[in-house]
Amino acid sequence: EEGKIAIAIDGPAAAGKSTVAKLVAKKLTYIYVDTGAMYRALTLKAIKQHVSLESEADLAALLTSTTIELKQSENGQKVYLDQQDVTVDIRSLEVTNNVSYVAKHASVRKDMVKRQQALTEKRGVVMDGRDIGTHVIPDAEVKIFLHATVEERAKRRHEENISKGFNSNIEELKEEIKQRDLIDTKRESAPLIKAEDAVEIDTTSLSIDDVARQILSEALNVLKS
Ligand code: CDP
Ligand code: CDP
């Protein structure tokens, strides 16, 4: 669509991707696509059905017979797995600790990327993940790579947990984040890496609004040109 662009936001866990992606999408009245939620939904289903997370073929077959939908609602985006609302369930510790093992399989990624690309054809989209700028939307008009120190990222998750009334331990969070980043960075298929043409933002000492403003200014530059 004329006058609309795609904004790809990648980076490691808890760098602030989804928070700022939502803000930017709201400002531009674009759709927001949380690709991590899609990998989480498949992971939830695989765990429930006792499908081995090591078996690429079994996971790929499971995904073939799975529907994953992201729907906007008044209270934020909702995630549906085979028509069931799994918005809360996909954030469990069990899913979080297993999702990277599911996401490393090439045939799982191939199917996911196809689904994600179908959502970007019309542009007017802000998509976040690990491989958006490198594989899902390699021709995105704006590419952003967010990062922050692991200490800061663990602290953010910790504060998020506390504010939701959950128990939380910074050291444990730090280990979980480090482990997931390691698997995501080292995998063979579409590893987490900054796209060459992505704008890198270290968010360690930036507020959410600071980061959103920087991304919006990149977007407005492109839209004006
Ligand atoms: O929000 P958080 O950083 O906890 O993670 P997420 O964005 O929900 O992604 C969960 C996991 O899905 C990541 O750690 C990756 O293993 C995988 N993922 C991926 O491989 N590719 C994407 N485009 C998005 C997520
Ligand atoms: O999507 P991703 O895993 O990259 O991170 P997130 O879930 O958007 O952000 C993790 C937490 O950090 C959220 O609670 C945000 O409010 C917070 N955050 C922050 O404190 N400062 C920023 N510059 C960005 C995010």
Per-residue pLDDT of 103-123, as tens digits, reads 999 999 999 999 999 999 888
Q: Say if domain 6-224 classifies as CATH 1.20.120.80.
A: no
Report CA Rg, the chain.
17
Q: Are strands 6-10 and 142-147 parallel, antiparallel or unpaired?
A: parallel
Burial zone of 83 (CB within 10 Å; 0-12 exposed, 13-18 middle, 19+ buried): exposed
Q: What angle do CA 30, 33, 37 make, to 5 degrees?
A: 155
Q: Does 15 sit in the ligand 2 pocket, CB within 6 Å?
A: yes
ipTM for the assembly? 0.97
Given a cut of 90, is residue 3 above it in pLDDT? no
Helix, strand or coil for residue 80?
strand
Position 2 confidence tier, pLDDT thresholds 50, 70, 90: low
Domain range list for the chain: 6-224
Q: What is the pTM of this model?
A: 0.97
- pLDDT tens digits, 130-178: 999 999 999 999 999 999 999 999 999 999 999 999 899 999 999 999 9
Verify whether ligand 2 is closer than 6 Å to residue 19 (CB atom): yes
Say how many Å lie between the CA of residue 221 and the centre of ligand 1.
Answer: 28
Q: Indicate the average pLDDT of the chain.
A: 96
Ligand 2 mean position to 156 CA, how many Å? Answer: 6
